Amino acid sequence: MDKDARPSAVFDLDGTLADTAHRQHFLEGAKRDWRGFFAAAVDDPPLAEGVRMVLDSAEACRIVYLTGRPERCRRDTVDWLSRQGLPAGELLMRRDDDRRPARRMKLDVLRRMGRSQEVRMLVDDDELVCDDAEAAGFAVVRARWADTSAALKDAQEREGRT
């Protein structure tokens, strides 16, 4: 059992804390370059509004990072979080072979979390993730401070990649 009894604040990465605009071109066209897309994540600039929300939440809440990035990106993701000065927190990632839409994958994780702890809020930029989380009774903050391309939105829903 986790000794930290504080409620959890759950934060998405891409489009919420990390600005993916410089790498979204990898997802355009008929053949998407997922390796290139994820490899370029190390150079993502932070999104100030999202970072501020994490820092503001860190005292009252246990921080959880929930991302659709595949598990194979863990080391780069942990390094990126550290370079941004973000607080340590649990990092929950998609299995490398999981191709479910982000809304299904993330809602499954939130429901599991909710059985053993209070989830105070989810902060995510994906409207479909937010819609499903709200419908399931979770408090949601919609991260609308990044520019997300249509190609990325489509990939999140139809290809289950981020």
Which of 105-109, 139-143, 156-160 is the least confident region? 156-160
d(CA 82, CA 155): 27
Instruction: Decide if 3 is inside a domain.
Output: no
Residue at 119 is within a domain: yes
pLDDT of residue 162: 58
- What does the DSSP assignment read for 13-37? -BTTTB--GGGGGGG-SSS--HHHH
What pLDDT shows up at residue 161? Answer: 56
Is 84 domain-assigned? yes
- In the block, tokens 């605009």 appear at 21
Any domain includes 127: yes
SS3 content of the chain, % helix, strand, coil (to 5): 45, 20, 35
> Considering its fold, how many domains does the chain have in total?
1
Is the predicted pLDDT of residue 147 greater than 90, yes or no?
Answer: no
pLDDT, mean of residues 27-50:
93
Q: Which of 72-76, 93-97, 147-151 has the lowest mean pLDDT?
A: 147-151
Q: What is the pLDDT of residue 136?
A: 97
Sign of the torsion formed by the C-alpha atoms of 154, 157, 97 and 144? positive
Q: Is residue 74 part of a domain?
A: yes
Asked whether the whole model's pTM tops 0.85, one would answer yes
**Domain assignment of residue 78, given as a range:** 8-159
Residue with the bigger pLDDT between 99 and 86: it is 86
In a domain, 2, yes or no: no
Instruction: Provide the mean pLDDT of the chain.
Output: 90
The answer as to whether 107 is a domain residue is yes
Contact 26, 36 (CB under 8 A): yes
Residue linked to tokens 């973000």: 86
CA distance 145 to 141: 11
Give the CATH number, domain containing residue 51. 3.40.50.1000
Compare 135 and 156 and report the one with higher pLDDT. Answer: 135
